[in-house]
Every structure is written in C-alpha cells, then in structure tokens.
Amino acid sequence: MHRATISLVSAALLSTASFPDAGALRVRTLAVPAVIGREVIVGRAHCAGVTWLLTDVPALTGITIATSTVSSSSVRSLRPAEKPWGLACLSNHELWTLASHDSLARMQTDGSVVERLRLDRPRLAIFGVGDRLLLQQPPSSSGRSLLAAGLPRNLAGFRPWPAPLSQPVSSRDEQIQSNLVKCGLGTTVVPCWLADQVRVVMSDGSAATTAVREFSFVRRSTVDDAVPIWDVALAGSWRVWVLASARGGADGRRAGGRLTRSNRRGTDEGFVDLNPAARLILWADDSRCVLLSTTGQLLEVSDR
C-alpha cells in the first residue's frame, strides 16, 4: 500500500491574474503539488468533511479542505474480475463502490476491501445520500425511476427515487446513453440529472420535497451538448454551484469550463470561466467552491 500525506498550504496562493471573472467571483489556485495525475476518476463522494476520489489505478484519495491534507492509498484485496466503478460515502463514514455490475464492495479509508454484497440485479452507478446508497438500474420502459435508495445490507428494502425518470428512445442503442444519470454533491438532499439535459432534480427521496429546476444558463457558454452539465454541488439550504462542461481538449478528455453560482430557483448569480478547466467539484459552501483542475491543482472560487 502506498500512502502519502501532502500539506495544502492554503495561505500561500499563486497569482490570480490569468483568471477572468464575472459576478464578483474570484479564483485562487492553491499552491500545492498535484493532488492526482492523469488517471481516470471513476468515483467521487463526500462525507464527514472529506472528499474521496476513486481512480482506475485503482487508488483511493481523500482530500480534507479544513485541515489542508491529502491522503492516497492503493485499493487492495480486489478479486481478479473486479473493476471498481463509482463511489458512495455514507453518514456512518462507510465507503462503497460497485466492484462489478452485480456486486457491492465496502472499502476502508486505507483502500482495503473488507466486505462484499451480491446485488439483486445489475447496476450502472452508485451514489450516497445520508445513510442510504443510491443505485442506478438499467432503464426499462419510459417513465420509470432510474434510481433506487436504501440501506446497503437491506437490498429488499430499496425504494424508487422520485426522479430522474427513464426517457423514451427510438432505438435500443440509445437506451443507456439517453438515460445515464449523474449525481452531484449534497447531504440529505442530492442533485441528480440525466447526462444530456440541463434539468436537475434536487431530492431527499420524498416526492413532496423534490424540486426540479432548469439550469438553462449553462448553454450560454460553449458546452459539450452531449453532457452540458458537468457537475453540481448543493450548499446550505439555498446555494447551488453548477459546473458547465467544456468542449473536449486535444486529448479528447471532457472537463468543466464555467462555474456558475446559482440558487435553488435556477437563477444565474454570477460565473467564472476556468483556465485550466476543472475535472469536478470537491467541496462547497454558500460563498466558496473548491474544484480539482485538469492539471491536478486545487482551485478555490469565492465571492470574497
């Protein structure tokens, strides 16, 4: 197992002159070594003040903004056919991934797999909401729930999530592509959306409190139409940070190019174009958002 701890000296910041800004948002680059390299991030989750990244190496990286530390460990004890995909961190600090399409695996923070559960059906993605797992099943007929939530050791107790719902398609080949769900950062309320849409569902699992909002301002920037919203983070009871996609670079990799500060009504309250682009959001509160850039650095966007 490889484990490293890197001090994030957030007081020492690089120059911000290269970043354009709008709506009184400012960008600062934390002067630290790269958090991760060019490996593919296959899962991201946040709980107990730590954002966890699972990569295809496979490795598990934990980033704690408050204490300015990063830890990284190789994922161990995998079986030959297992290839982890997705990540959920629950309120009891348990980390879960899809070890395969039909099995769950629980990992310790040191990367060791310590528990496996056989799923009742194939699953495409995994997220966390409070003490529950949020799993995506393959789409079936139009208008059916794409996500189900429940406790990891009680698969029979999983219940449909209010939305997103499966979309009608003209061919079987489009079925998965048009119904791929992405979920952002939240706690008891989580934002989820279909990858090719700008409509975001914010829900705690109750239909009565589920809100659906169109973040149409995303399309004002030059986005990848296949995935216009790259990432979303909810903060407090009102703030929503929305990361719009950027067109693929020379290497073909997608990323986020514009971060917009919004609210739960879907109002644009200011944005900033990111250079370098961002791979995803790591943490957010009402006035500040921390992102991982495509160069492996940490970007802090704030209104201060």
Report yes or no: 244 and 223 within 8 Å, Cβ to Cβ. yes
Q: 201 and 163 in contact (C-beta within 8 Å)?
A: yes
Cβ burial of 251 (10 Å; 0-12, 13-18, 19+) is exposed
Per-residue pLDDT of 90-141, as tens digits, reads: 999 999 999 999 999 999 999 999 999 999 899 999 999 999 999 999 887 7
In sequence order, the 6+-apart residues with CB closer than 8 A to the CB of 82 are: 99, 100, 103, 105
Host H or E run for residue 199: strand 199-203
Partners of 7 in the β-ladder:
69
**What are residue 111's phi and psi, to 5 degrees?**
90, -5
Predicted local confidence at residue 8, as pLDDT: 35
Residue entry with tokens 């995303």: 218
Helix (H, G, I), strand (E, B) or coil at 132: strand
Residue 189 φ then ψ, to 5° = -115, 130
User: What are the C-alpha distances in Å from 146 to residues 45, 153, 186, 201, 215?
Assistant: 20, 20, 19, 12, 21
The per-residue pLDDT for 111 is: 97
Sign of the Cα pseudo-torsion (222, 223, 229, 233, in order)? negative
pTM: predicted TM-score of the whole model, two decimal places: 0.90
Residue 220: which of 271, 255, 274 has the closest Cα?
271
How many CB atoms are located within 10 Å of the residue 192 CB? 25
Q: How many CA atoms lie within 13 A of 144 on its CB side?
A: 11
Domain 215-304 has CATH 2.60.40: no
pLDDT in tens, the chain (304 residues): 444 433 333 333 333 333 444 458 999 988 777 789 999 999 999 999 999 999 999 999 999 988 878 999 999 999 999 999 999 999 999 999 999 999 999 999 999 999 999 998 999 999 999 999 999 998 877 889 999 999 999 999 999 999 999 998 777 777 778 899 999 999 999 999 999 999 999 999 999 899 999 999 999 999 999 999 999 999 999 999 999 999 876 677 899 999 999 999 999 999 999 999 999 999 999 999 999 999 999 999 998 7
Q: Are the CB atoms for 158 and 131 separated by under 8 Å?
A: no
Name 130's bridge partners. Answer: none
The pLDDT, as a whole number, for residue 170 is: 73
* Distance, CA of 163 to CA of 5 (rounded, Å): 39
Instruction: Kindly state the helix (H) or strand (E) to which residue 115 belongs, with its residue range.
Output: strand 113-118
Residue 17: per-residue pLDDT: 32
